[in-house]
Amino acid sequence: MQCTPDDATEDLRYQTVLLSLGVIAFGGLVATALHGLERWTHPISLVIPPLTVAAALGQFAYLFGRPGRTRQVIGLSLGWVSLIMLFPEYFFTLEAALSPDKQLIETLPPISSGLFLLTTGMIVFLRPRQLVRLSFLLWLVTAAPVVVYLLLHPLELQSPRGQDLMFALGPAMAVNICFVLFYTRLQDTLDRLALERIYLKESSERDVLTGVFNRRAGEQLLQALESRPDEPFGIILCDIDHFKRINDTHGHAQGDQVLREVASRFQAHLRQGDVLIRWGGEEFVVVVTGKGVDSLKVLAERLRQVIGGEPIGTVGRVTASFGVAQHRPAESRQDLFDRADQALYQAKNLGRNQVVWAGVTP
């Protein structure tokens, strides 16, 4: 079974989350070691890094054992990173506001880099619609306390660290949010183009009137089957009897209704794996692969009965003639269709509403 694009994306996301958790754990170890070498470290700085290591390694082990839980782990990871970034910020901002002998520019950990990394991570892991709301909310709750504090403490605002914080949490983050908005618009455009491409591909392979595969798609299928000699297959060629008379007597609208109804009845009685193709005009082809080719004539007979079993609208009872042929080794598609067409011609000569096998019946 081939891997679909969605499967490939999920696998890439899974691997990226594992790698990110490994990097977070390594960063926590480095921070723990650096704080351990300092003469004096705030208790928060001593607690958060090792907790981050434990959380990252725990989520890594959980996801490694349950690859299908990628989205849950993403939510937990983003929540934890947001917490370890916001808690120290609010704590040190409140501490500086309440303690005249403390300055925020001296005690606040480097949060701006963490904010940029977090929004970048959300671009990778979150859906575009979630991304815009969460990025803006994160920016607001992160920037608000520091910006308000600095505006109320002009001396700290005028310092190099204060100006750097104001710039990083203000204009720089605004530009980052613009990038997020651009990404979401771009992703929406790409999604729309992907849907249009699927629609166009589907339209190019489908008959507009009946909704079944058209001749172009049928020829591609038969070409693929012809290139696989180990895969047995056969065809059922069907032609609606006296279809020109139906159009002349009842009108082309009723003729179109007959074609749609015949295609619908076929689809309702075909087996899984059988492919129905409108070959042209009132002619249909059923391609049967695998072991089912041994019962081609039985299937064709059932389809013949299905068509003529119930009347179709104001047209009444409609019948069809069938030519059935099983593909022979090294036989070309043209030869296969020639045999089926000869069988169909014979069915019409015998009085129509019949099934004729091309060759010796298995």
Asked whether the beta carbons of 148 and 169 are under 8 A apart, the reply is no
How does strand 283-289 pair with strand 355-357? unpaired
- Residue indicated by tokens 């600095």: 150
For 320, the token pair is 């069809």
User: Whose CA is closest to 90, among 109, 116, 76?
Assistant: 109
Helix (H) or strand (E) holding 113: helix 112-125
DSSP string, 256-276: HHHHHHHHHHHHHHPPTT-EE
DSSP structure class, residue 239:
E
Is 196 assigned a catalytic role? no
* CA–CA distance, 157 with 191 (Å, rounded to integer): 44
- Residue indicated by tokens 């798609």: 217
Q: Is 219 helix (H, G, I), strand (E, B) or coil?
A: helix
R_g (Cα) of the chain, nearest Å: 35
Helix (H) or strand (E) holding 312: none
Of the candidates 89, 156, 261, 282, the residue annotated as catalytic is: 282
Taking the mean position of all CA atoms in its chain, how far away is CA 339? 42
* CA–CA distance, 64 with 58 (Å, rounded to integer): 10
List Cβ neighbours of 354 (8 Å cut-off, separation of 6 or more).
304, 321, 322, 347
Residues acting as catalytic residues: 282
